[in-house]
Amino acid sequence: MFEGSCVALVTPFSKGRVDEKKLRDLVEFHIAEGTQAIVPCGTTGESATLSHREHGRVIEVVVRAARKRIQVIAGTGSNSTREAVEMTRHAKSVGADACLLITPYYNKPTQTGLVHHFRTVARSVSVPIVLYNVPSRTGVNMLPATVIELARSEKNIVGIKEASGNLDQSSEIRKALPKDFSLYSGDDSLTLPILSLGGQGVISVVANIIPRDVAEMCDAWRSGDTDRARELHLKMFPLFKAVFIETNPIPVKTAMGRMRLCSSELRLPLVAMSAENRKKLESALRNYGVLK
């Protein structure tokens, strides 16, 4: 699996439709800026409001645009195990390098239910699988013991995006599992701490707008330049906070619109930022130097 910065890619829209040309442009942008991998159809990609056809098409467009120059880790999770299997099979069939699967949301399975869910997907599709734990979104926290059980029993469960905000969980996972099980930060502001615990990188929201700096921070840490990694973390920290001032991906898409990377168009029930928060975001972008 990748080491370093993986972007949780936004899905660009134009007049209600997926903007495939802009999607391809964003892939080229990230390759040029040094991003190590791309996740289409994750939370930041508004996967919850994509139709099944759109979901599959976005993954296909990104894979074809990448042309094996950058890893593509397709978001294929669902609260329906059967649906997760189907989407994961599709991602593999179009050439995704791996799949990112969120814990089932809304139906709040037990830890045993989580084991059976991920085991079923892993045994149904021969593709590397990265687990995704984000209890603030799903209503269920996948405990370290569950992650450890799955990693030890299923060879193609190869990593986790840890977005619980609880560094103790990351510590338990890292202590129990060998380094070939990849630990990724799911919170931009916790990337450096997770790298210090032996994490391999981040699946990042802020990398949509400052990909080179996120990649450089990860590279600096891996090369042993801890001072440079810390310097970059502290430089980016105000942006880490600004892109979560409202529900993700509202702020980051707003920023991308202002930076002319893609349209800021969202899908309901997400709506445009409040005027007050937009001013705060734009101030952070100006202070960082990416907006005049």
Residue of 161, 235, 279, 288 marked catalytic: 161
Looking only at the bridges linking them, the beta strands covering 17-18 and 13-14 are: antiparallel
CA separation for the pair 260, 269 (Å, rounded) = 23
- Give the burial class of 168: count Cβ atoms within 10 A of its Cβ; 0-12 exposed, 13-18 middle, 19 or more buried: exposed
Q: Please, is 279 exposed, middle or buried when counting C-beta atoms within 10 Å of its C-beta (0-12, 13-18, 19+)?
A: exposed
Alpha carbon 257 to its chain centroid, in Å, reads: 20
CB neighbour class for 118 (10 Å; exposed up to 12, middle 13-18, buried from 19):
buried
Active site residue 132: yes
Tokens of 37: 């991998």
Among candidates 44, 59, 194, 33, which has minimal Cα distance to 127? 59
Of 200, 201, 287, 291, residue with least CA distance to 241: 287
Nearest C-alpha neighbor of 241 from the set 199, 291, 290, 280? 280
Indicate the SS3 state at residue 267. coil
CA pair distance 23, 10, nearest whole angstrom:
9
Active site residue 288: no
Residue 13 main-chain phi, psi, to 5 deg: -115, 155
Name the catalytic one among 22, 92, 132, 184. Answer: 132
Q: Give, as one character, the DSSP assignment of residue 48.
A: G
* CA contacts within 13 A on the Cβ side of 49: 18
Active site residues: 132, 161
